[in-house]
């Protein structure tokens, strides 16, 4: 089976690569010629564990290719996956301009029956919207063709909603070991085609949820919004622990032992970030308002997550004092470990607040410094953790990279102006750090 993936961002690149590893012939298309040129020369535009060797393997074996030629890719493919961005508008709603443009292009280049699968995260009703755009353009195109070729028939197609549930930093694993595959369609024919595409996962008893497109679209938003809510809840508990002297790790452990709750996503910190949770929570609030419903609990989650950044800055100010002229060392810029993605990163938000307060920033991240320098060129980028600590008034751990879990704390203490360690990811035991002579503060831990 031949597949076309439109868009080579996180979702498109991982999806296309993994499908090619399933034995399918995949063409990944992007309008960014520099990105495609880089991919064809072995330059991968994102950092994602295990992705590069998988791309190299499948390109070498002839199952994976990259191009800017959308027309050729559509014409030769049986199934077309849409994996373009849906960035937020100013009001939080999803911007569908790229989706709409792709739908028009698909209609222009279709040459026979196609299955069009939406992988992008989109509002409820987008599958129907894509179908209407393609149908309208295909009919217009077919009408023009029939004037010169009276025997021609309008081209047929089907639309599927197939949301992704990939975590940055473990996307390849998540694709090949999914909790579920959601397929939204009303066509039995399409159902069989999608089962064939996902056959390696179907054969290992991966749960498949077959539903209509509207339900599939809502499932994606519901999952991400619930996880964001869970993170926000444990952050609120941690903030309360700071005030009453309780240990949030013990609270979270006890909560996680309840089978109805589970321990996942009960890790307090500076708030969720990344390309999904912030965008999707705001989008679901916007969708709800469009249908005349106020999603009060989710609006509170969004506001509380934004406040969490400010509370973390409050910790720094409480221990360091007036921030004007103070040097703050920041370990971690990516929104989470194992990625170079800084979108909606708590660390970046905290740095921006600190800069407004007059602080000077030194920082280090194993993967995200190049991306950060594009938006924050005037802060100091260091070679490692120890250079970051040297001469700083305090050291802040903002991202949970594994290499930050085993720092030479005595060396760090000697390099800092004042031995202040603010651990926003709770990587260290408070008693141990304090016993070394540090002024230490975590999130919900004493």
Catalytic residues: 276
The DSSP H or E segment spanning 397 is strand 394-397
Q: Is the separation of the CB atoms in 347 and 274 below 8 Å?
A: no
Query: Cβ distance 402 to 335 under 8 Å?
Result: no
Beta strands of 229-359 (E only): which ranges? Answer: 327-331
Note whether 157 and 174 are within 8 A (CB): no
Judge contact between 325 and 287, C-beta under 8 A. Answer: no
What length does the chain have? 446
* Residue 279 exposed, middle or buried by CB count within 10 Å (0-12, 13-18, 19+): buried
Cα(65)–Cα(58) distance, integer angstroms: 9
DSSP symbol at 403: G
CA distance 330 to 422: 10
Q: For the purposes of burial, counting CB atoms within 10 Å of the CB of 264, is it exposed (0-12), middle (13-18) or buried (19 or more)?
A: exposed
| Cβ contacts of 263 within 8 Å, gap of 6 or more | 252, 253, 255, 256, 257
**For the residues of 73-102, what is the DSSP string, one character each?**
HHHH-SEEEE-----B-TTSPBP-HHHHHH
Q: The tokens of 346 are what?
A: 């708590």
Q: Which residues contact 226 (CB under 8 A, 6 or more apart)?
A: none
Cβ-based neighbour number of residue 55 at 10 Å: 23
Sheet with 2-6, edge to edge strand ranges: 64-67, 25-29, 2-6, 79-82, 114-118, 157-161, 181-184, 208-211
DSSP-assigned beta bridge partners for residue 327: 360
Return all residues near 134 (Cβ < 8 A) that are at least 6 apart.
103, 104, 106, 107, 110, 116, 157, 159
């Amino acid at each position: 089976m031949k597949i076309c993936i439109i868009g080579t961002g996180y979702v498109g690149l991982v999806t296309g690569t993994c499908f090619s590893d399933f034995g399918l012939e995949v063409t990944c298309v992007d309008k960014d010629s520099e990105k495609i040129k880089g991919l064809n020369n072995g330059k991968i535009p994102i950092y994602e564990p295990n992705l590069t060797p998988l791309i190299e393997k499948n390109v070498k074996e002839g199952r994976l290719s990259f191009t800017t030629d959308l027309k050729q890719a559509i014409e030769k493919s049986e199934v077309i996956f849409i994996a373009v961005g849906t960035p937020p508008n100013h009001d939080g709603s999803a911007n569908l301009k790229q989706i709409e443009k792709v739908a028009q292009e698909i209609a222009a280049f279709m040459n026979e029956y196609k299955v069009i699968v939406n992988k992008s995260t989109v509002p409820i009703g987008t599958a129907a919207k894509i179908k209407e755009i393609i149908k309208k353009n295909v009919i217009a195109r077919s009408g023009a063709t029939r004037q010169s070729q009276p025997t021609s028939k309008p081209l047929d197609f089907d639309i599927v909603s197939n949301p992704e549930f990939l975590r940055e930093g473990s996307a390849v694993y998540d694709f090949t070991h999914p909790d579920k595959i959601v397929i939204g369609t009303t066509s039995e024919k399409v159902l069989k085609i999608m089962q064939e595409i996902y056959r390696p996962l179907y054969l290992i008893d991966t749960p498949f949820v077959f539903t209509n497109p509207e339900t599939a679209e809502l499932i994606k938003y519901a999952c991400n919004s619930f996880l964001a809510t869970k993170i926000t809840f444990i952050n609120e508990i941690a903030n309360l622990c700071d005030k009453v002297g309780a240990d949030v790790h013990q609270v979270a452990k006890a909560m996680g032992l309840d089978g109805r709750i589970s321990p996942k996503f009960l890790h307090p910190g500076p708030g969720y970030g990344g390309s999904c949770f912030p965008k999707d929570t705001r989008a679901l609030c916007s969708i709800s308002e469009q249908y005349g419903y106020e999603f009060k609990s989710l609006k509170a989650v969004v506001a509380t997550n934004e406040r969490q950044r400010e509370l973390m800055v409050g910790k720094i100010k409480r221990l360091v004092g007036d921030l004007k002229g103070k040097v703050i060392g920041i370990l971690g810029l990516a929104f989470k470990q194992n990625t170079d993605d800084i979108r909606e990163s708590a660390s970046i938000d905290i740095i921006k607040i600190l800069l407004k307060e007059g602080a000077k920033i030194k920082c280090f991240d194993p993967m995200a410094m190049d991306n950060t320098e594009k938006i924050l060129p005037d802060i100091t980028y260091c070679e490692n953790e120890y250079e970051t600590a040297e001469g700083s008034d305090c050291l802040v751990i903002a991202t949970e990279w594994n290499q930050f879990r085993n720092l030479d704390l005595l060396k760090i203490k000697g390099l800092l102006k004042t031995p202040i360690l603010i651990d926003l990811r709770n990587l260290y035991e408070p008693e141990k750090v304090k016993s070394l002579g540090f002024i230490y503060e975590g999130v919900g831990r004493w």
